[in-house]
Structure 1
Amino acid sequence: MKKYQTLLYYCYSRIDNAEQFAEDHLTFCKSLGLVGRIIVANEGLNGTVSGTREACKAYMDAVHADPRFAKIDFKIDEEEKPSFIKMHCRYKPEIVHSGLRDPNMIDPAKETGKHLAPKEFLEMKDREDVVLLDVRSNYEHSVGRFKNAVTLDIENFREFPEKINELAKYKDKKILTYCTGGIKCEKASALLLKEGFKEVYQLHGGIIKYGKEAGGKDFEGQCYVFDNRVTVEVNSVNPTVVSTCYNCGATTSRMINCANPVCNEHFTQCESCGWKMEGCCSDTCMEHPRKRPYDGTGFYVKIPQPVNVEKISKRKHKRLNANSTLRS
């Protein structure tokens, strides 16, 4: 039996004095010896935490004891080691940045797409009157997505509202949205309903829950996760690899961060190119004076970096040209 667990969860539920709640919650998590990342906002919680089985049970019991969070659906993975190094719990205006000038125009706690259990999603996803919509970012769906899904060219979820017009051609279809754990779908489906889409659904519990309850059938590649694991397997029925090495084009599911901390780009790179490029995405990054030592994993403890306009432009350019397997 594996000693550690990783918990993925979210909850849209009003939190008064959320900034103080974040401080208190951080203290509580540390008292249990947990590590992870939690975002707290007035609209709710969004977290991934990791620790011993005993610590995780104590955490889940305490959270469920609060009436505001009693219905949280924890996705639990068994692990050989913790999935984080430190514990962070921070207040932010939203638990998922919607990209809307007025975030209050939608309220997932009141109106959102119809939740589909994994087996319901499996039964419905291949119908002719259905469109599968991946609401995740480029670096997420580049390494794995559902067969025949529509993907969007976005660097982060705050760009989703800009893509609504591109989706207008599907208004006469049933829209099945999905993401890693379900949280992005809550806002994406709410916004689609607000924009006049009539039948909008979402995969309850996201890709992670689908893998556990439906075997992950027809999910191609791996699922990107926001912790030290980077990606996880979800398909035990008909697994495939869909991503390719950014440098040589070879098929690979291995995703890393660029060794140049100023770039720090998420990208897929085969082991051979990893050692050849010293964990960098380009020759330019290899020559950067702050390049970090490469140990074969491509994982580095995050160090806050100033906003770099050149990096943002470079990232957008790279995503337009890399990974020919991307679908839109």
Structure 2
Amino acid sequence: MNQTLVTQFILLGFQDLDSYRIVLFHLFLLLYIVTVSGNLLIISLVSINQSQSLSSPMYFFLSHLSTCDLLLTTVIVPLMLNNILKGKVSVSFLGCFAQLYLFGALASTECLLLAVMSYDRYVAICNPLRYSSIINLHRCSLQVFGSWFLSFSVMLITIIQIYRLDFCGPNIIDHFFCDLAPLLQLSCSDTSFVELENILTGLPLTFAPLMYITATYIAIFMAIFRIPTTIGRHKAFYTCSSHITVVSIYYGTLVVAYLFLSKDYPLNVHKALSLLYTVLTPMLNPIIYSLRNKEIKIAFLKLVVVEQRAILKLSVRGKKHIASC
């Protein structure tokens, strides 16, 4: 039987930076607005232009990556903003577990989606003549569904094991969200089984995609170097440069945060690294794809023109209505 006495957890957030509370709040609020706007823009452009310039599988995957980034940052940032304003914030027992579950599942989903997108680039460069037959809508849908389903299912197993632990107190988490490591430190039960289970299920789900991405890009680079012309090599590399940048940023912060930092490092260092993959990466992904992708730029300009025409028509109708009155 679970003998948990704790009914809520206290998140301390950034108490060491209390004198910069207002500045931090406005900074992270601005970053959150940019993140939400950028990812919603990508999702909207892909949805609107499905039968036009953004109908290829790459943009289908990109819309799901933007959805994942949007959900991931929304799970973390609003509570963090509240934490910054109040200095510390209380989260219910179930609320903390829900945040941990969604964060872990969405982070794993992003890893799998990045792996799926690397396969798309591999086929596009290494086997372009069969691209449309290999990467079809049915197969893309199965890959995306598998990424979401596998991540949420594996994380559910982990969260059930954590829920069975006893939490007798204290209930203070020196972090800005309910992360796995600080939560396990508060348990008065033996957490070795949970830690082992997390290694056996969580790490493969996170780093197996990285190894797969690395293998696919080795094959991609070998294919690019075999292209006889410089223009051809540049064009082939350009088609996967955005994906490489996103993968490097996302996995770079994850690897540093979970592999190369020991418990001896200050907690502020862990918090800063957590900000990179919970706040900064979801904001940068749509910016990277927007700045380096001509089709998205064209689709955005078309959307702006359509909106301007619609506003102009409404303005003309309004003036005619006023004149008739």
Relative contact order, CA 8 A, sep 6+: which one is greater?
A: 2
Q: Which has the higher helix share?
A: 2
TM over 0.5, yes or no?
no
TM-score, normalising length: structure 1: 0.22
